[in-house]
Amino acid sequence: MTIETGKLALLAADSERAQEAAAEIREQGDFVPLAEADVAVVLGGDGFMLQTLHSMLDQGRVIPAFGLNLGTVGFLMNRLTRSRSLAERVSRAQPVAVKPLCMKAHTHGGEVREYHAINEVSLLRETRQTAKLEVSVNGKRRIAELSADGVLVATPAGSTAYNFSANGPILPLTSNMLALTPISAFRPRRWRGAILPDHYEIGFRVIEPDKRPVSAVADQKELRDIDEVTVSIDTSRTLTLLFDKGKTLEERIVAEQFVT
């Protein structure tokens, strides 16, 4: 599939490397503000890419994003190379659709907030005391009391990030599955999590929220002192990441399972 480059926006992280690369790339052609662009060129690391995608979700205008890695891991990015022009790389790039999670959280103070997550939604204990959570799937209680440091729900795109570090499974990008992964579970000790269809809704209720407060984090957005959280795929929104041919996110997720 060929991407019509159209108008490009150039967004760069605050790091010195990203700013220097942006100054050089601007000499290749004209760039427009994000609100007028057809494709966003993102310079930085995975964190800055997530920040950019969230900004587009919040503003209600989502366009394809082509990342160039000037960070550390760069799992969501392409390599910075000068072998071809940027416009040519974008036009030949392969699109990958990513479906974000929607987290709806009720706080102990009565607030209701909704946030999106591209990688994962995680519930984490706020104090030294273990969090106690009731876990339900599609309204049916599956675990009456999970005692743990926390629990997370990861998308396939995010399954190689925090989820993998918590010993969760790596999910193929086209699997249409979600990973439900405990974080340092104490009880039930043998529960290692679950793989669920992505059209399921996953619910959490905090047990003893006054004594054992819990925060909810949707990628980079945190909400403290929660009582209940529901997590589901937002079917109304789809993000598009662009990758050089043969270097797609799906290939990277597969390759990650063979790293020794």
**Residue 229 φ then ψ, to 5°:** -140, 135
| Residue 47, marked binder | yes
| Residue 165, marked binder | yes
Write the burial class of residue 50 (CB in 10 Å: 0-12 exposed, 13-18 middle, 19+ buried): buried
Q: Which two tokens stand for residue 218?
A: 């949707």
Spatial separation of the C-alpha atoms in residues 49 and 46, rounded to whole Å:
5
User: Is 46 marked active-site?
Assistant: yes
| Residue 16, marked binder | no
| Residue 71, marked binder | no
90 three-class SS: helix
| Residue 119, marked binder | yes
Q: What sign does the CA torsion over 54, 59, 60, 62 have?
A: negative
H or E element that contains 223: strand 221-223
| Residue 200, marked binder | no
Q: Which of 225, 251, 248 minimizes the C-alpha distance to 66? A: 248
Residues 116/236, Cβ–Cβ less than 8 Å? no
Q: Which two tokens stand for residue 106?
A: 């009720």
| Residue 162, marked binder | yes
β-strands 39-44, 65-69 pairing: parallel
| Residue 5, marked binder | no
Q: Which amino acid belongs to residue 188?
A: P
- Annotated catalytic residue: which of 38, 46, 225, 227? 46
H or E element that contains 52: helix 46-59
| Residue 218, marked binder | no
| Residue 149, marked binder | yes
Q: What dihedral angle (degrees, nearest 10) is formed by the CA atoms of 256, 116, 71, 164?
A: -30
As annotated, the active-site residues are 46
Annotated binding site: 46-47, 119-120, 149, 157, 160-165
Annotated binding site for NAD(+): 46-47, 119-120, 149, 157, 160-165
